[in-house]
């Protein structure tokens, strides 16, 4: 590691030296999903970003406690249940299972803890009682509200003044509020809604309270890093901070880390215009690591625009890395080689870690990985016995760096077969047609119809299929 890892703090608007609350340990909380539908590629960005952070911090020796929650009680879940005539618990369980399946398909590691809001109702009630005792919250009917103007630091995280928030507020109209900006900590239950008994009557928690409660329960406060998408800065994270600091009298979080937005073909993703792609649909069409490579090719704080072209480019780049690994393993087969360092490889290793320790700059760390891939391929092309030890060390670095970013985790033969089948589906061909084309070309060459043979080869090339001739016959692969 460098002398000091630097992480951009959304609260201060600048990079800061990272000093963990507890030496050698890092405590991270990232806001999870509300489980009322299948997750889409926008959700995947935050999951992949914090997975890369989790992996890197673990790889350099920190003991990382990583918490990502499930919001399993919410208006959207209740509305979905009512629309389908289902129990709200069934809806929540269905989409928690769906989310977990999606994360596994994307190679996202399981966090240390994945708490659910409904598992912590008693903790939330106790937390709200503290806020009332300290004068920061007030019961109103069967609900409880947080008094925004009693917290002097409200708005500091999002950089908004109270006047700006009032002017642009989308607040729920409720005559029981003392101020329009006050927000619900506990909601009085409506007929036929899920509810829990509490000192204020039956009801359910507001959205913001769950993360304040679960983060401090599992991580204490202050803890090191609180993350999520930029869309959560206000009001969710602003409200979390206010609740936690008022209830505990202590700083809530040391560093706020937010990933940028995802657009699709330069438009904000929206169900109303139908431009949302589910993770399940994505992995049917592309290799899961292509999405990871696409997102990590940009700095996590920057916005990214999803398009089919960008994903196909990422998939092509991913193929190059797998091909490098395939070449190395083939060259090493039956050969025991001791790894050896050299200045060129040491420089690439330095570049990778320097990029990651400068606010987790995965774009620059990936550049180091692709440069490493070029160096390995160059050495393989040279076929010099003197470089065999360097190639072995280069392969070890490639696997190590890729693992930190969640890449090159697939079996080589499975990857090649899957990529080939996906490509054929996109160009409207199947393996039977390719094998027939190979036979037709062989027949044309046998009959000295070289122009016809070249036309068949060129037709396949136009569809991204390369033919490889050898004494054993002709094989094919997707063009890289």
**Proportion of the chain above pLDDT 90, given as a percent:** 82
HSE-CB at 179 with a 13 A cutoff on CA atoms is 17
Question: pTM value?
Answer: 0.92
Question: Where residue 371 falls among pLDDT bands split at 50, 70, 90?
Answer: very high
Tokens linked to 27: 């405590």
184 belongs to a structural domain? yes
Residue 216 has pLDDT above 60, yes or no: yes
310, 252: one domain: no
Most confident residue range from 167-176, 261-270, 391-400: 391-400
Name the pairing type of β-strands 262-264 and 304-306.
parallel
316, 249: one domain: no
298 belongs to a structural domain? no
Q: Each residue of 40-55: pLDDT tens digit?
A: 999 999 999 999 999 9
Residue 324 has pLDDT above 60, yes or no: yes
Residue 3 has pLDDT above 60, yes or no: no
Cis-peptide into 178, omega within 30 deg:
no
Domain boundary at 379, 410, 441, which? Answer: 410
- Give the domain extent around 456: 429-478
Helix (H), strand (E) at residue 316: helix 308-332
CATH of the domain at 376: 1.20.120.640
Tokens linked to 53: 């952070």
Question: Where residue 383 falls among pLDDT bands split at 50, 70, 90?
Answer: confident
Cα–chain-centroid distance for residue 164?
Answer: 32
436, 394: one domain: no
Which neighbouring-strand residues pair with 226?
Answer: 29, 256
131, 209: one domain: yes
182, 38: one domain: yes
386 belongs to a structural domain? yes
Residue 292 has pLDDT above 70, yes or no: yes
Question: Where residue 479 falls among pLDDT bands split at 50, 70, 90?
Answer: confident
340, 457: one domain: no
378, 438: one domain: no
Which 8-state DSSP code applies to residue 298?
S
Cis-peptide into 235, omega within 30 deg:
yes
354, 435: one domain: no
Q: How many DSSP H helices and E strands does the chain contain?
A: 16, 15
Give the chain's mean pLDDT. 93
Question: Where residue 173 falls among pLDDT bands split at 50, 70, 90?
Answer: low
36 belongs to a structural domain? yes
124 belongs to a structural domain? yes
Tokens linked to 104: 């596994």
214, 317: one domain: no
pLDDT value of position 174: 64
pLDDT value of position 1: 45
C-alpha span between 292 and 228 (Å, rounded): 17
Instruction: Give the Cα-Cα-Cα angle 399, 316, 270 (nearest 5 degrees).
Output: 105
Domain boundary at 211, 241, 268, which? Answer: 268
296 belongs to a structural domain? no
Instruction: Please tell me the total count of domains within the chain.
Output: 3
Angle subtended by helix axes 388-404 and 41-59, to nearest 10: 130
Most confident residue range from 41-45, 429-433, 466-470: 41-45
C-alpha span between 282 and 280 (Å, rounded): 5
DSSP 190-259: PTTS--B--TTSSEEE-HHHHHHHHHHHHH-SSEEEEEEEGGGIIIIIHHHHHHHHHHHSS--EEEEEEE
pLDDT value of position 260: 96
Structure-token match 């590629």, residue found: 41
400, 436: one domain: no
Which neighbouring-strand residues pair with 259?
Answer: 229
Tokens linked to 158: 């999002």
pLDDT value of position 167: 56
C-alpha span between 30 and 46 (Å, rounded): 8
C-alpha span between 76 and 300 (Å, rounded): 28
402 belongs to a structural domain? yes
Residue 348 has pLDDT above 50, yes or no: yes
Helix (H), strand (E) at residue 137: strand 137-140
Domain boundary at 360, 379, 410, which? Answer: 410
pLDDT value of position 268: 76
C-alpha span between 342 and 393 (Å, rounded): 9
Residue 272 has pLDDT above 90, yes or no: no
Q: 196: buried, middle or exposed (CB in 10 Å: 19+, 13-18, 0-12)?
A: middle
Residue 171 has pLDDT above 80, yes or no: no
Question: Where residue 417 falls among pLDDT bands split at 50, 70, 90?
Answer: confident
Q: What is the CA radius of gyration of the chain?
A: 27
Q: Each residue of 60-98: pLDDT tens digit?
A: 999 999 999 999 999 999 999 999 999 999 999 999 999
CATH of the domain at 177: 3.40.50.620
The SS3 assignment for 291 reads helix
Across 341-464, the runs of DSSP E, i.e. the strands, are none
Which neighbouring-strand residues pair with 468?
Answer: 475
192, 257: one domain: yes
109, 12: one domain: yes
pLDDT value of position 70: 98
pLDDT value of position 298: 98
Tokens linked to 247: 């209830």
Which range, of 148-152, 230-234, 272-276, 394-398, averages the lowest pLDDT?
Answer: 272-276
437 belongs to a structural domain? yes
């Amino acid at each position: 590691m460098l002398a000091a890892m630097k992480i951009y703090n959304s609260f201060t608007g600048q990079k800061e030296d990272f000093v963990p609350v507890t030496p050698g340990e890092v405590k991270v909380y990232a806001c999870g999903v509300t489980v009322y539908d299948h997750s889409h590629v926008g959700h995947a960005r935050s999951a992949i970003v914090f997975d890369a952070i989790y992996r890197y911090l673990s790889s350099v020796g920190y003991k990382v406690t990583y918490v990502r929650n499930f919001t399993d009680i919410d208006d959207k879940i209740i509305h979905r249940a009512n629309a389908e005539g289902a129990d709200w618990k069934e809806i929540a369980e269905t989409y928690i299972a769906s989310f977990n399946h999606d994360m596994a398909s994307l190679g996202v590691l399981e966090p240390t803890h994945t708490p659910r809001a409904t598992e912590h109702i008693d903790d939330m009630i106790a937390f709200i009682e503290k806020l009332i005792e300290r004068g920061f919250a007030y019961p109103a009917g069967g609900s409880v509200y947080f008094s925004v103007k009693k917290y002097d630091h409200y708005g500091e995280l999002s950089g908004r003044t109270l006047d700006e928030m009032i002017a642009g507020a989308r607040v729920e109209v409720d005559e029981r509020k003392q101020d329009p900006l006050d927000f619900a900590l506990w909601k009085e239950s409506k007929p036929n809604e899920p509810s829990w008994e509490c000192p204020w009557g039956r009801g359910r928690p507001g959205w913001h309270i769950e993360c304040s409660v679960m983060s401090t329960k599992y991580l204490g406060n202050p803890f090191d890093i609180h993350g999520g998408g930029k869309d959560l800065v206000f009001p969710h994270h602003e409200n979390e901070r206010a609740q936690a600091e008022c209830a505990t009298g202590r700083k809530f979080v040391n560093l706020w880390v937010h990933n940028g937005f995802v657009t699709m073909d330069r438009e904000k993703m929206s169900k109303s215009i139908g431009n949302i792609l589910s993770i399940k649909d994505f992995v049917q069409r592309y290799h899961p690591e292509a999405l990871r490579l696409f997102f990590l090719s940009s700095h996590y704080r920057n916005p990214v625009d999803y398009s089919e072209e960008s994903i196909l480019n990422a998939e092509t780049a991913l193929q190059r890395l797998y091909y490098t690994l395939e070449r190395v393993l083939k060259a090493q087969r039956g050969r025991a080689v001791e790894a050896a360092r050299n200045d060129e490889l040491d420089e690439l290793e330095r570049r990778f870690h320097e990029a990651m320790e400068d606010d987790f700059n995965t774009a620059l760390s990936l550049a180091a990985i692709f440069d490493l891939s070029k160096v390995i391929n160059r050495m393989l092309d040279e076929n010099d016995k003197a470089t065999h030890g360097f190639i072995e060390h280069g392969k070890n670095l490639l696997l190590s760096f890729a693992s930190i970013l969640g890449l090159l985790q697939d079996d080589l033969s499975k990857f090649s077969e899957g990529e080939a089948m996906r490509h054929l589906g996109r160009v409207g061909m199947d393996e039977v047609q390719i094998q027939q084309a190979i036979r037709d070309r062989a027949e044309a060459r046998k009959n000295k119809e070289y122009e016809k043979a070249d036309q068949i080869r060129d037709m396949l090339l136009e569809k991204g299929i390369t033919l490889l001739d050898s004494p054993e016959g002709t094989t094919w692969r997707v063009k890289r």
